[in-house]
Amino acid sequence: MTVPLPKSPFLAYSPRIVQILDVVDETPTIKSFRFRDAISARAKPGQFGMVWAPGVDEIPLSLLPSGKGEVTITVKRLGEGSRALMQKTSGELIGIRGPYGRAFRCTDGRSVLIVAGGTGTVPMLALLRRLAPKGVECSVVLGATTSHELLFASEIQRVSIESGGTFIITTDDGSAGTKGLATDATKDLLYTKSFDRVYTCGPEIMMKKVVDLSEETHVPVEAGLERIFKCGAGVCGSCCIGPYLVCKDGPVFDGHVLKELLEFGRATRDSSGRRIPITRS
């Protein structure tokens, strides 16, 4: 039975309690949790859910539909909420509301470039799963600091190659793929191949460079931003960037919009709303 998407984020996207089906240790600092929720399973690539660790905190996480009404979320150990979720095991309960936010466009183009890094790989995998079956040639640059921090590399490589695209891994320390930055490989591809669109999600300094490169090569680009979300529905204002609210107007933005925002790639905000500089680490 198809579950209709709710019309109001406040009435219909009310918290739902779900049971964790299984837990996967992806890297030394990242885990994935799979659960069943018909509404979250209809999330589009780039949309997120507000995930509740009972008694602790609620945090935004990308939603990765995995078929049969099931969804995967991927958590990196950072703050109190993520640490609490990391301690959860199969059979335990968590809360979920959403999906929220503006998704990536599923282009009608024939060839795209996807640039992913860190946990930004999650929405990029969701996008790849959506585009490749439509006959879109999907080239992917997957970046990480080291081989131990690469996410979903096997599936991404398989789907990318099967679509006819190019697959490149870059690591800062050279422990996998090419030693260097994801943006180095992105530059090479943009100047040697033709693409209809670029998609990127990951560290913001990386995305800033990808947006700049896309502008130089006249290829439309979309980027998925990460900010502190407290409500997820555009009420609290904690995720503002320029005149926009990332949770509502984003998290996916067109490159030409981001180019006008002085904060993009340079500054973010802490939980109090104070502006702080973005560093590469």
The model scores a pTM over 0.75: yes
Q: What angle do CA 241, 243, 246 make, to 5 degrees?
A: 45
Angle (deg, nearest 10), helices 182-192 and 204-216: 20
Residue 62 in any domain: the answer is yes
Single out the residue of 259, 256, 235 nearest to residue 247, CA to CA: 235
Q: How many residues does the chain have?
A: 281
Residues 131 and 39 in one domain: no
Instruction: Tell me: pLDDT of 13 over 70.
Output: no
pLDDT in tens, 227-273: 888 888 778 888 889 999 999 999 999 999 999 998 898 888 887 77
Residues 29 and 88 in one domain: yes
Residues 26 and 130 in one domain: no
Residues 201 and 116 in one domain: yes
Residue 2 in any domain: the answer is no
What is the C-alpha separation between 264 and 36, in angstroms, rounded?
35
Number of domains in the chain: 2
Residue 12 is predicted with a pLDDT of 45
Residue where a domain stops, chosen among 66, 99, 132: 99
CA 263 to chain centre: 19
Give the residue numbers spanning the domain of 53.
16-99
Q: Which residues contact 81 (CB under 8 A, 6 or more apart)?
A: 53, 56, 57, 58, 59
pLDDT in tens, 189-217: 999 999 999 999 999 999 999 999 999 99
What's 249's domain CATH number? Answer: 3.40.50.80
What's 88's domain CATH number? Answer: 2.40.30.10
Residues 164 and 253 in one domain: yes
